[in-house]
């Protein structure tokens, strides 16, 4: 028995020693990883999960009268009840032409349709970025604590749907939940337009308190030429491909025509001018550039409100002609935070298409010529270089890193891009006089 008791004491001592070593090792490891600057992601167009609830709709009797579906890309389980055509029709916005209404207040959902964001603020709200979340987690960030997602309804522009209030609250909550550490914003594709709107419509004192910096990845700031073609061919938002049936071409084109974000995302004449052909009409031989947008949005078959929406929202992100010298340092168009931009290049990128005519809802004919420029496979060089206007910021840091051969969607998951993001997020922000 004495020997047994002695052995027990030795075993207990060993267990306590191992536990103590583990405790100190864990503490040392925790001390070796500095606190992480929280990150808030602004996803790409249609990458936020939207829940659409339908109650006694009267938009189309061939569609279910009631029910619900989720609409986002890449949704692996599209609705078995609502077809793509029905989803498009139910998500087409209504427009009230009352001129006394401020433009953002003229839009509403179809009667009987409500649209909300699923799991807002969490990484589950934008599943396409799982690889980005996992990379951040491996480096010490915590999902849904120091990694948050500022999703949005991709049909709407950032002056609508309570975007500013909702997003500021998310950032302030993230700041508080992470030991009052300033937040680093990350945007991909269309996401940076929403982040830019937040930054240019928030006070300098708010940004100094809550924002550490901003990484726009392939930001579609002045828009892209290809968007004009979608007004006529549509875009299948289940597959992110051009529709192969006339029915989907028309339903998706009509939905995009109704959405103000379509025009915000289209190449702005103030930046592009006549620099690229976005539509060629095979029937008449006429070519259209961004400077000719008004002729496109007033084509036969376009609803009368299309021109009004286009006039208001094309060029919504203000870059003027993209020349840094044309933007005064005091301009509210500048974000006035440290910016670490990323872009891709070296890939032929579609900017324009040839159509049989200007009929809304036509299936694209792949035998007709297309127009390309250098870019990242989705956005052209004019789009990706326009952000250089932000080098006019009088104090804050600005860099634009080129990633030759890296395509638009791979940019958000590339190891070198993510390494720079993580390093830049940990930097001390510039100290500028208000």
Helical segments of 94-240, H only: 130-138, 163-177, 191-200, 204-210, 226-233
Long-range contacts of 293-302, Cβ-Cβ distance < 8 Å, separation of 24 or more? 293/228, 293/266, 293/269, 296/228, 296/231, 296/358, 297/231, 299/358, 299/360, 300/358, 300/359, 301/358, 301/359, 301/360, 301/361, 302/231, 302/257, 302/360
Distance of CA 183 to the CA centre of its chain: 18
Task: Copy the structure tokens of residue 294.
Answer: 């008004």
Residue with tokens 């945007």: 187
List pLDDT tens digits, range 49-63.
999 999 999 999 999
List pLDDT tens digits, range 383-399.
999 999 999 898 999 99
Q: Is 127 left (phi over 0), alpha (psi -120 to 50) or beta?
A: alpha
d(CA 294, CA 313): 12
Per-residue model confidence (pLDDT) at position 19? 43
Residue with tokens 């006070």: 203
Q: For the beta carbon of residue 216, count every other beta carbon within 10 angstroms.
A: 27
List pLDDT tens digits, range 267-292.
999 999 999 999 999 999 999 999 99
List pLDDT tens digits, range 204-253.
999 999 999 999 999 999 999 999 999 999 999 999 999 999 999 999 99
Q: Name the nearest CA neighbour of 186 among 199, 204, 173, 169.
A: 199
Q: Name the nearest CA neighbour of 50 among 67, 66, 68, 72.
A: 72
| CB distance 109 to 2 below 8 Å | no
Per-residue model confidence (pLDDT) at position 317? 83
The 3-class SS string of 357-384 reads CCCCCCCCCCCCCEEEEEEECCCEHHHH
Long-range contacts of 131-137, Cβ-Cβ distance < 8 Å, separation of 24 or more? 131/413, 132/41, 132/412, 132/413, 132/418, 135/413, 135/415, 135/418, 136/39, 136/418, 136/422
Q: Report the DSSP pairing between strands 39-42 and 147-149.
A: parallel
| CB distance 66 to 54 below 8 Å | yes
* Span 248-266, average pLDDT: 98
Burial class (CB in 10 A: 0-12, 13-18, 19+), 118: middle
d(CA 12, CA 34): 34
List the domains of the chain with CATH numbers.
39-223+318-345+378-425 (3.40.50.1820), 226-316+350-373 (no CATH)
Mean pLDDT over each residue of the chain, to the nearest integer: 91
* Span 361-375, average pLDDT: 98
pLDDT band for position 34 (50/70/90)?
Answer: confident
Burial class (CB in 10 A: 0-12, 13-18, 19+), 12: exposed
pLDDT band for position 1 (50/70/90)?
Answer: very low
pLDDT band for position 434 (50/70/90)?
Answer: low
DSSP 178: T
pLDDT band for position 333 (50/70/90)?
Answer: confident
Per-residue model confidence (pLDDT) at position 318? 74
Phi, psi of 121 (to 5 degrees): 90, -15
What residues are paired with 236 via a beta bridge?
241
Per-residue model confidence (pLDDT) at position 337? 97
| CB distance 433 to 427 below 8 Å | no
Per-residue model confidence (pLDDT) at position 332? 60
d(CA 161, CA 153): 8
Read off the pTM: 0.90
Stated as kind and residue range, the H or E segment containing 287 is: strand 287-288
Task: Copy the structure tokens of residue 111.
Answer: 């009667």
List pLDDT tens digits, range 294-304.
999 999 999 99
Residue with tokens 């190891």: 415
The 3-class SS string of 49-117 reads CEEEEECCCCCCCCCCCCEEEEECCCCCCCCCCCCHHHHHHHHCCEECCCCCCCHHHHEECCCCEEEEE
Per-residue model confidence (pLDDT) at position 321? 41
| CB distance 288 to 228 below 8 Å | yes
* Span 2-21, average pLDDT: 39
Stated as kind and residue range, the H or E segment containing 3 is: helix 2-32
Name 204's Cβ contacts closer than 8 Å, sequence gap at least 6: 336, 434
Supply the Cα-derived Rg of the chain in whole angstroms.
Answer: 25
pLDDT band for position 433 (50/70/90)?
Answer: confident
| CB distance 370 to 247 below 8 Å | no
* Span 35-44, average pLDDT: 98
List pLDDT tens digits, range 159-197.
999 999 999 999 999 999 999 999 999 999 999 999 999
Per-residue model confidence (pLDDT) at position 32? 57
Distance of CA 415 to the CA centre of its chain: 20
């Amino acid at each position: 028995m004495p020997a047994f008791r002695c052995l027990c004491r030795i075993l207990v001592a060993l267990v306590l020693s191992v536990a103590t070593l583990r405790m100190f090792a864990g503490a040392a490891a925790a001390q070796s990883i500095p606190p992480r600057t929280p990150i808030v992601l602004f996803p790409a167009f249609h990458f936020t999960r939207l829940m659409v609830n339908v109650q006694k709709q009267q938009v189309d009797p061939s569609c279910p009268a009631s029910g619900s579906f989720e609409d986002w890309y890449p949704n692996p389980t599209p609705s078995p009840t609502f077809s793509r055509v029905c989803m498009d029709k139910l998500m087409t916005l209504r427009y009230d032409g009352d001129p006394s209404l401020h433009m953002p207040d003229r839009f509403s959902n179809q009667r009987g349709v409500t649209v909300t964001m699923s799991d807002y603020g969490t990484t589950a709200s934008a599943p396409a970025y799982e690889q980005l979340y996992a990379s951040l987690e491996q480096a010490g960030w915590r999902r849904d604590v120091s990694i948050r997602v500022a999703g949005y309804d991709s049909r709407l522009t950032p002056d609508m749907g309570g975007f500013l209030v909702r997003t500021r609250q998310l950032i302030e909550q993230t700041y508080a939940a992470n030991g009052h550490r300033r937040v680093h914003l990350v945007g991909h594709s269309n996401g940076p337009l929403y982040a830019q709107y937040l930054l240019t419509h928030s006070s300098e004192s708010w940004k100094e308190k809550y924002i550490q910096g901003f990484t726009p990845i392939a930001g579609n700031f002045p828009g892209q030429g290809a968007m004009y073609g979608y007004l006529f061919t549509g875009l299948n938002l289940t597959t992110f491909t051009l529709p192969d049936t006339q029915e989907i071409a028309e339903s998706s084109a009509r939905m995009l025509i109704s959405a103000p974000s379509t025009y915000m995302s289209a190449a702005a004449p103030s930046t592009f001018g006549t620099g690229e052909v976005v539509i060629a009409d095979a029937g008449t031989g006429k070519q259209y550039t961004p400077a000719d947008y008004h002729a496109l949005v007033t084509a036969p078959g376009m609803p009368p409100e299309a021109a009004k929406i286009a006039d208001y929202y094309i060029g919504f992100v203000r870059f003027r002609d993209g020349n840094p010298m044309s933007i005064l340092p005091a301009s509210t168009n500048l974000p006035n935070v440290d910016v670490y931009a990323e872009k891709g290049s070296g890939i032929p990128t579609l900017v324009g298409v040839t159509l049989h005519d200007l009929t809304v809802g036509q299936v694209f004919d792949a035998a007709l010529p297309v127009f390309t420029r250098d870019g990242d496979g989705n956005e052209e060089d004019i789009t990706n270089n326009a952000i250089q206007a932000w080098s006019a910021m009088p104090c804050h840091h600005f860099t634009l890193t080129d990633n030759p051969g890296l395509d638009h969607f791979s940019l958000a998951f590339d190891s070198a891009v993510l390494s720079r993001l993580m390093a830049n997020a940990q930097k001390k922000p510039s100290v500028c006089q208000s």
